[in-house]
Amino acid sequence: MGRVRTRIMYVELKTGHHDDGPAWIGRVGLYKTGRTVYYRGLVLRRHNGVAGNHVDMDTGHEYWISGPRRDRRDRRHGNAPVHVDPEAQTEYHALLAAPLTTPG
């Protein structure tokens, strides 16, 4: 096994939910390739052709995982609240407060 890096990500459960499944901004672990995400004891492997973009290796549940958006519009559909994990709050709020930069 390689070295694990961590970062904050948006994680949404898609299985059993049409639009507004439970969602979190939290710290995830990633190995070098980034194809597998570790979050709250889950092992989520990248998988194409499913409602989400990752599948829980134990349950088969589908999750949508992406980087958090500065405009707080992380959900692809719906507008239910997104829980921010306590260990991710400082970094997430710093991301939201950082000035936007423009290329050039």
Contact 42, 25 (CB under 8 A): no
Model pLDDT for residues 54-82, shown as the tens digit of each residue = 999 999 999 999 999 988 888 877 888 99
Cβ atoms of residues 8 and 88 within 8 Å: yes
Whole-prediction pTM: 0.86
Tell me the CB-side half-sphere exposure of residue 12, using CA atoms within 13 A: 24
Domain assignments of the chain as residue spans, ordered by start: 5-97
Reference 42, options 55, 25, 23, 24; nearest CA is 55
**Stated length of the chain:** 104
Q: Residue 102's pLDDT is what?
A: 64
